[in-house]
Amino acid sequence: MSHENKNIPDSLPSNPEIPDFKTLLKKQGYSLAGTHSAVKTCLWLRRSIKDKGECYKSRFYGITSRCCIQMTPTLMCNQKCLHCWRPTEIDAPAPNVWDSPVEIVGYSVAAQRKLISGFGHSAPRELWLEANEPKHVAISLSGEPTLYPYLPELVEEYAKQGISTFVVTNGTNPEMLKRINPSQLYMSLDAPDKDTYLKVCSPKSPDLWEKINESLTVLRDKDTRTAIRITLIKGVNMFNPQGYAELIKKAEPDFVEVKAYMHLGFSRKRLPREAMPEHGEVMAFAKEVANHLGYKIADDVEVSRVVLLSKDGKTSNL
């Protein structure tokens, strides 16, 4: 099998003029929530609050975008993925003291309300009021959430407040995955083999590939809804659909999301625009993964270049 890696740069660009981490996050529109968590409103929240569209998670899983907080309890990560939107060239500092789950829930809801306060005059009032009472939280954004030691309690605390939780993990911390029970557990799988994983994700240790494989079997045993997400980067990891399918079989997830890399944020410094596959290319790859897996195409959203696979060909609602 020849691996097509032509879009991987020989070395990551270094820029001595990159400002400190907090300044960078603020420049990107992140709002710090407490001492080490962050919140950011996404394009779809801004559209949804004006009744001008919903994100693909609305179609696939019944999420209302204007009621969704996008946050992370830590900006630290043990990988430096080529496709990451965050500035992986700078390590987020480890906090001296961790904020409690109760504090983080309070800070994140308050930060979200502050971020949408400006829409009070431009959005329909009932939608703006609805957005002020978040119902979902996507614990992903930037950084690896399983590095926050109280993640199980954080998920429980959001649930107590009537807020459903989507946790997105890179799969390097199987022990934590055993302990959390979010509404939906997403795991990224960005390579069909170890060699490609090391090139795409630059993990802190090569052994993290074995941890990812362990996490796949942890997912299989979860009662909560599970999804594997593949981010396809043209010329980098977009080959060997059978290899992806063989790994995914270990997890038996409810859903598989096959999604195009998006040329956004700091990833623009590492990958060319051409690394974004077209929707048709994502669909063709997703069909091959589905065939090897015995799954069906459940839905797709062209504007987001994403295809959903499920066992029975159906989408779901929370």
Give the footprint of ligand SF4 on this chain (CB under 6 A): 77, 79-81, 84, 86, 88, 142-144, 170, 201
Q: Which is nearer to ligand SF4, 57 or 270 (CB)?
A: 270
Q: How far is the CB of 208 from ligand SF4 (least distance, A)?
A: 10
Contact yes or no for 270/9 (Cβ under 8 A)? yes
Exposure letters 292-304 (e unless 16+ CB within 10 A, then b): bbebeebebbeeb
Q: How far is the CB of 313 from ligand SF4 (least distance, A)?
A: 29
Calculate the CA 82 to chain-centre distance: 14
Q: How far is the CB of 141 from ligand SF4 (least distance, A)?
A: 8
Q: Which is nearer to ligand SF4, 64 or 237 (CB)?
A: 237
Q: Which is nearer to ligand SF4, 157 or 190 (CB)?
A: 190
Neighbours of 5 (CB within 10 A): 15
Residues contacting 266, CB < 8 A, separation 6+: 84, 85, 86, 87, 88, 89
Q: Which is nearer to ligand SF4, 67 or 147 (CB)?
A: 147
Question: SS3 sequence, 63-97?
Answer: CCHHHEEEEECCCCCCCCCCCCCCCCCCCCCCCCC
Neighbours of 247 (CB within 10 A): 18
Q: How far is the CB of 82 from ligand SF4 (least distance, A)?
A: 9
Q: How far is the CB of 81 from ligand SF4 (least distance, A)?
A: 3
Q: How far is the CB of 201 from ligand SF4 (least distance, A)?
A: 6
Crossing angle of the two packed helices 151-160 and 101-116, in degrees rounded to 10: 60
Neighbours of 153 (CB within 10 A): 16
Q: How far is the CB of 231 from ligand SF4 (least distance, A)?
A: 8
Q: How far is the CB of 260 from ligand SF4 (least distance, A)?
A: 14
Q: Which is nearer to ligand SF4, 132 or 213 (CB)?
A: 213
Q: Which is nearer to ligand SF4, 112 or 267 (CB)?
A: 267
Contact yes or no for 205/112 (Cβ under 8 A)? no
SS3 301: strand
List strands edge to edge, sheet with 37-39: 31-33, 37-39, 68-72, 136-139, 164-169, 184-188, 225-232, 255-260, 306-310, 296-301
Q: Which is nearer to ligand SF4, 127 or 262 (CB)?
A: 262
SS3 38: strand
Q: Which is nearer to ligand SF4, 238 or 293 (CB)?
A: 238
Alpha carbons 261 and 282: distance in angstroms, whole number: 10
